[in-house]
Amino acid sequence: MVFTGIGLIHLTWLTLGWSKEAPLTETLPWIPAAGLNLDFWLDGPALFYTWLVYGIGFLVIQYAGHYMKPDDSPWRFYSVMLVFLSAMLGLVLARDFLLMFIFWEVTSLTSFLLIGHWHHLPEARKGARRALLITGMGGLSLMAGIAFLAVVMIQVTGEFSLRMDDVWAAREAISEHPLITTALVLMLIGALTKSAQFPFHFWLPGAMKAPTPVSALLHAATMVKAGIYLLGRMYPAFGDEILWLIIAGGAGVMSMLVGGYLAIVSTDIKALLAYSTVSQLGLLTSYYGFGFGRLESDHLLKLDLLLVASHALFKAGLFMLCGVIDHGTHTRDWKRLGGLRRKMPVTAALTIAGCISMAGLPFSLGFVAKKIFLEASAQLESAPFILGEALLAGSLAASVLTVGYCFIVAIKPFFGKPREQDLYDHAHGGSFGFLFAPGLLIGLCILGGLYVPALEKPIAALTNTEFYAYKSYFTIAWFPKIDWLFWASLIMYVILGPLILVWQDFFDAIYQKSGQAKPFLGFSDRFFDVWVANFAAMIGAAAKPAHHQTTLAILFGVMLILCGAAIATAPFPAISLPQPSLDIAVAAMLIAMAAAGVVMAVIKRRVYTRIISVGLSGLAVGAIFVVYKAPDLALTQLLVELAVLLMFLGMAARLKTIWQEEAAAIPRNKFAAGAAVALGLLAAGVTFIAASSEPSVTWSSRPSPEAYYLTNAFYPETPGAHSGGGNNAVNVTLVDFRALDTFGEVIVLVVAALGVFSVLMLRMRGRVEEPTITIDRADAKLFLLKILGGVVSILCAVYAVVLFLAGHQMPGGGFIAGLLAAIVVLPFLVTFRPLRDFYPHVLMGWGILAAAGIGIQPALSGEEFLKSAFGTFTIPIYGELKLSTALVFDIGVFLIVLAVTLSLMKLFATRTYKDAEEEEREESAA
């Protein structure tokens, strides 16, 4: 709420200083080489939508404070909500179609998360999946459309630009291009899916499983409007295409009809509102469609903003009221409610006011909107054939349906006799805070309707930019001209609307009779539950053979063919026997040791023998790293091997019998030996060629990266340039020069640890917690070992600190110190009671925060992300100490590695320990 509040204040300030002649623009280079920039602007429509996003976002978050209960994970909810709001803001501020697409996708993803917020409900998961599938598909289509548009733009104008104003300016030229219709259709599909337009309308009702604030914000006021917004941005470029009228107009009118019909037969008020949203968005879509062929003339199309505003206000308000009813009565089924006006008078009054606006009755913003719309549809003279007439008839019929469902929402729950006395007795209205947001929204809607003429100026100001020319085609006034449209409306409101209310049962009966083949919905169920599921199963079956060995064999085969061909054609370097030297002798000895370990691991049968053999070979490899002049690697390798060894042993304690049985039961794969020889030769060949070849790239103009890293590791080579301030070039490379890579890599670690954790959580679910164990009894025998272990642990801990601090100058650093510390801390974590329930995951978060936080600081002052700075301090006794901000980054790395390693090893150690205890207990019981 604070965020959006600040946003609102900032926005007010921006609005006051806003002028239509010079919209604010902001360009940040993104990938300048590819002509991609982060282009933002704040022109009229963008300003309008920004108000919409911030204003309704603010109210919805205020409302959510009353709606969400403390056990609804509100933190998760609000964070995703804010991500959504930011993405939506980016979407409307983007000046470039491609940039807009990126934010578009983010809104789809956050919508998925928000719909599925109550992920324990299968219906919510299903709704979220559907929404993601449909809007994701639409997003792909939009992307393809934008790609086609880019091709057209390059061919027509000769340069790559997807900036909206550039595209609009090139309108005449690009309309001749053969590919433009493809681009148009694909982009339109994107817009239609986002706005839940026919035939993609069915995801929206499923999305209503979301918490009501989400429905109000995403699926009524903002996200579904993104499709409409896109139409508005496309219109100046495509408005003269006949396909524009057919697709946008046709889909819009169909959505109005289908949505209206489904709304009438829904008994869940929220579902009813969802279908009414489909219908109302259809109105907006078709309104743009009706703009066909009027680009040149001044016309009423520019009033779209008024339509969007009125719908956003009353629909968000109605959704919130629906949430109030739900809270007050614990049902949203209007067939079970009635007479509530006595119990919740304010809610009733607000709902009725909202419905007046939704139905388009006079004295409301909805009335003005409906009037603008009907006039637009009546003036489709340029449409070919009878298309114009058909669309007009459809719009009128849909308006009747609209009036019908508005009457249902306004009257059924609040008037008449209570249908279920029990529900009625327990019903209660909402508090002031609960009703504040919907009240404000609907109040604005009515106020706007009463003072329509006052709206003319701001709308004119917002839309009177070059491409949004506005002329007072007709005066906006709340009193209608008395013409045929007036009479048509009158018949609609006074006769047909109430008739639908009375005959709702009749519609319902038809709907119920149609059974499984529910019109316009049965298809979607079949589509998702049968086709999509089958398709997924088919792909899964094709991609997943019975054993992973099959997959691996294919991979190895491809590798053998491709690399083998490359090696066969490459000139093989001359093989010269090495001069005998001490290094060679040491290396040969270590290799022999490692090879022996590997051979043992391959041929032996006992699980422990094989584990220790692999560990031995790993340690020998670590020693080879020393010969190869890589002390940091050697340290890391030794510690990792140790950790892996511990984990392997921990696991084997539990599973060794099963694995020995497995080895006895499954014969060795004979084919594997041949593959092993072939691939081994291949790997040896590739490595040897790589080691013997000179780099094919010559660094004539600039030094090679490694030379740069080495000469600038401590001091800058040129005065004032960047340097790392460390003597250990490997560590400086990791935490400074290539810190971004390191950052990505530690994130991979975190993901892996969380993956392990979630697999184990799956196992824990629904199980009785294993009893906590006492360890003193078992440890009494091991007193001496314990003392010794303690001493060694303390020494190791000290050494870990030294390794960490020295890391920038000498071998060591965050990775190594983290591994060592984890191995040291592990026994305490497992055996020390107060720490046993401590999950190291929280350390990961701190680590990421430290690493990213220190990285963002230079980025904020205009430097590169993660660029370091360092200073020299003199400390008594210790002497001169160089401290670099990279050290903080290294602390982040240290914390992450420590936490990841700990949480991984703890999982194995803890469970083994408990299992051994259990065995003991079972034995003593026997």
- Provide the CB-side half-sphere exposure for 814 (13 A, CA): 29
Among 683, 802, 835, 842, binds other proteins (CB under 8 A): 683
Between 121 and 592, CB nearer to other proteins: 592
Q: Which residue's CB is nearer to other proteins, number 135 or number 613? A: 613
Which residue, 352 or 633, is less far from other proteins as judged by CB? Answer: 633
Least distance to other proteins from the beta carbon of 623, Å? Answer: 12
Q: What whole-number distance in Å separates Cα of residue 914 and Cα of residue 631?
A: 38
User: Residue 882: which region, alpha, beta or left (left: phi > 0; alpha: psi -120 to 50)?
Assistant: beta
Q: Which residue type occupies 829?
A: L
Q: Where does this chain touch other proteins (CB under 8 A) — which range of 53-61, 211-219, 296-304, 595-603?
A: 595-603
Measured CA to CA, the distance from residue 35 to residue 25 in angstroms comes to: 17
Tokens representing 557? 């085969």
Q: What pairing do the DSSP bridges indicate for beta strands 24-31 and 879-884?
A: unpaired
Q: How far is the CB of 842 from other proteins (least distance, A)?
A: 18
Kindly state the smallest distance separating residue 126's Cβ from other proteins, in Å. Answer: 27
Looking at beta carbons only, is 574 or 925 nearer to other proteins? 574
Please write down the HEC assignment for all residues of 301-327: HHHHHHHHHHHHHHHHHHHHHHHHHHH
Shortest distance in whole angstroms from residue 795 CB to other proteins: 23
CA gap 104, 227 in Å, rounded: 9
Residue 774: burial class (beta carbons within 10 Å; 0-12, 13-18, 19+): exposed
Q: Work out whether 902 is an interface residue with other proteins (CB under 8 A).
A: no
Q: Which part of the chain contacts other proteins (CB under 8 A), choosing from 20-28, 44-52, 150-158, 647-655?
A: 647-655
Q: Would you put residue 570 in left (φ > 0), alpha (ψ -120 to 50) or beta? A: beta
**What minimum distance in Å lies between the beta carbon of 402 and other proteins?**
54
Residues 839-898 close enough to bind other proteins by CB under 8 A: 897
Closer Cβ to other proteins, 24 or 598, answer by number: 598
Provide, rounded to whole angstroms, the least separation between the CB of residue 712 and other proteins.
9
Q: Please tell me whether residue 364 adopts helix, strand or coil conformation.
A: coil
- Report the residue from 749, 821, 850, 909 that binds other proteins according to the rule CB under 8 A: 749
Q: Which CB sits closer to other proteins, 761 or 859?
A: 761
**517 counts as binding other proteins under rule CB under 8 A:** no
Residue 765's CB: how many other CB atoms inside 10 A? 7
- Closer CB to other proteins, 440 or 730, in the complex: 730
Question: Can you tell me the distance from the alpha carbon of 570 to that of 755, in angstroms, rounded to the nearest whole number?
Answer: 42
Q: Select from 109, 169, 460, 553 the one that contacts other proteins (CB under 8 A).
A: 553
Q: How far is the CB of 626 from other proteins (least distance, A)?
A: 9
Distance CA 806, CA 283 (A): 68
The C-alpha atoms of residue 367 and residue 383 are separated, in whole angstroms, by 26
Closer to other proteins by Cβ: residue 579 or 861: 579
Residue 146 makes CB contacts below 8 A (sequence gap 6+) with 97, 98, 101, 162, 183, 187
**CA angle, residues 422, 427, 429, in degrees to nearest 5:** 175
Among 106, 242, 682, 883, binds other proteins (CB under 8 A): 682
Of 399 and 742, the one with the shorter C-beta distance to other proteins is 742
Q: How far is the CB of 148 from other proteins (least distance, A)?
A: 39
Q: Is 910 in the site for other proteins (CB under 8 A)?
A: no
Site for other proteins in 686-745 (CB under 8 A): 686-688, 690-692, 703, 705-707, 709-711, 713-719, 727-730, 732-734, 738, 741-742, 745
Question: Least distance in Å: CB of 181 to other proteins?
Answer: 48
Distance CA 434, CA 322 (A): 11
534 binds other proteins (CB under 8 A): no
Q: Is 588 in the site for other proteins (CB under 8 A)?
A: yes
Q: 369 or 607: whose CB is closer to other proteins?
A: 607
Instruction: Copy the structure tokens of residue 358.
Output: 């939704």
With respect to other proteins, which residue has the nearer C-beta, 174 or 647? 647
- Strand partners for 870: 884
By CB under 8 A, is residue 457 in contact with other proteins?
A: no
Please, which residues bridge with residue 726 across strands?
A: none
Alpha-carbon distance of 205 to 122, in angstroms, equals: 15
CA angle 811, 816, 817 (to 5 degrees): 100
Site for other proteins in 225-244 (CB under 8 A): none
The mark string for 596-615 relative to other proteins (x by CB under 8 A, - otherwise) is --xx-xx----x--xx--x-
Regarding 901 and contact with other proteins (CB under 8 A), the answer is: yes
Q: Nearest distance from residue 885's CB to other proteins, in Å? A: 19
List 625, 804, 870, 889, residue binding other proteins (CB under 8 A) = 625
- Rounded to a whole number of angstroms, the minimum distance from the CB of residue 580 to other proteins is 11
Among 451, 487, 628, 832, binds other proteins (CB under 8 A): 628
Q: Is there binding between residue 460 and other proteins (CB under 8 A)?
A: no
Contact in structure between 237 and 279 (CB atoms under 8 Å): no
Residue (147 or 710) nearer to other proteins, CB = 710
Main-chain phi, psi angles of 810, to 5 degrees: -130, 170
Name the residue nearer to other proteins (CB basis): 32 or 578: 578
Specify the residue, 70 or 578, whose C-beta has the smaller distance to other proteins.
578
Closest approach, Cβ 369 to other proteins, in A, equals: 55
**Structure token pair of residue 700:** 């004539």
**Between helices 44-67 and 2-16, what is the axis angle to 10°?**
160
Question: Cβ of residue 229: shortest distance to other proteins, in angstroms?
Answer: 42
DSSP assigned state of 882: E
How many whole angstroms separate alpha carbon 583 and alpha carbon 590?
A: 11
Binder of other proteins out of 499, 675, 869, 916 (CB under 8 A) = 675
The size of the interface with other proteins (CB under 8 A), counted in residues, is 119
CB of 745 to other proteins, least distance (A): 4
Residue 82 phi/psi, 5-degree rounding, is -70, -35
For other proteins, which residue of 530, 536, 752, 761 counts as binding (CB under 8 A)?
752
Place of tokens 């009671």: 833
Binding to other proteins (CB under 8 A): which residues in 651-670? 651, 654-655, 658-659, 662-663, 666, 668-669
Q: How far apart are CA 727 and CA 716, in angstroms?
A: 12
β-bridge partners, 25: 41
Give the nearer residue to other proteins in terms of CB position, either 389 or 741. Answer: 741
Question: Which candidate, 37, 35, 44, 246, places its Cα nearest to that of 153?
Answer: 35
Q: Which of residues 805-834 bind other proteins (CB under 8 A)?
A: 809-811, 815, 819
End-to-end CA distance of the chain: 62
By C-alpha distance, which of 375, 370, 366 is closest to 447? Answer: 366
Is the Cβ of residue 221 or residue 638 nearer to other proteins in the bound state?
A: 638
